[in-house]
């Protein structure tokens, strides 16, 4: 795999580690009882997305391409601590749309078929996640 493809894959996977979906799943949101099933579904989707990312990272590690761990979410995400789930849902949808646009751009720049094969399943899963979350909105 060429150096450009390696860099693009690393950047995409690091961004996935600290995505807004991952943050929301860990944040302290106000979730009234009727919305708890929606909250549970969002947490489940975040866990699935993280597991898919870890699978790709494991495959890349086996190919001797390590992804640096990142534990810091963007500071602007903290504005959503203690926010109502209902208020966060539209922001989450926009964030997923932006992340998909970035991933699509990354895919377009990956000329190495092997690199594309690593990233395409993540992108497909993110599309499904977006559609599911859009369906959760009132």
Domain boundaries defined on the chain: 3-136
CATH of 3-136, one of 1.20.1730.10, 1.20.1260.10, 1.10.10.60, 3.40.50.10800: 1.20.1260.10
Span 5-62, pLDDT tens digits: 888 988 898 888 899 999 999 999 999 999 999 999 999 999 999 999 888 888 888 8
- The token pair at 105 is 């751009």
pLDDT at site 75: 93
The DSSP annotation for 68-129 comes to PP-----GGGGGGTT-BHHHHHHHHHHHHHHHHHHHHHHHHH---HHHHHHHHHHHHHHHHH
User: Higher-confidence residue: 126 or 14?
Assistant: 126
What pTM was computed for the model? Answer: 0.90
Residue 112: how many CB atoms within 10 A of its CB? 15
What pLDDT, on the 0 to 100 scale, is given for residue 119?
A: 92
Give residue-wise pLDDT tens across range 77-90.
Answer: 999 999 999 999 99
pLDDT of 2 reads 85
Q: Closest by alpha carbon to 49, among 132, 134, 137, 136?
A: 132
Q: Closest by alpha carbon to 5, among 92, 117, 83, 100?
A: 117
Give yes or no for a contact between 129 and 45, defined as CB atoms under 8 angstroms apart: yes
**CA-CA distances (angstroms) from residue 124 to 57, 65, 128?**
16, 22, 6
More confident residue, 130 or 111: 130
Q: Supply the mean pLDDT for the chain.
A: 91
**What's the number of CA atoms in the CB half-sphere (13 Å) around residue 23?**
25
């Amino acid at each position: 795999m060429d150096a450009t493809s390696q860099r693009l894959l690393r950047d995409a996977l690091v961004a996935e580690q600290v995505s807004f979906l991952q943050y929301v799943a860990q944040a302290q949101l106000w979730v009234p009882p009727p919305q708890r099933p929606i909250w549970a579904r969002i947490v489940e989707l975040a866990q699935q997305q993280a597991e898919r990312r870890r699978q790709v990272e494991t495959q890349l590690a086996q190919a001797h391409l390590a992804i640096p761990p990142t534990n810091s979410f963007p500071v602007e995400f903290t504005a959503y601590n203690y926010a109502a789930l209902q208020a966060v849902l539209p922001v989450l949808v926009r964030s997923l749309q932006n992340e998909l646009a970035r991933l699509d751009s990354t895919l377009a720049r990956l000329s190495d078929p092997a690199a594309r094969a690593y990233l395409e399943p993540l992108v497909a899963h993110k599309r499904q996640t977006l559609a599911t979350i859009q369906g959760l909105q009132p």
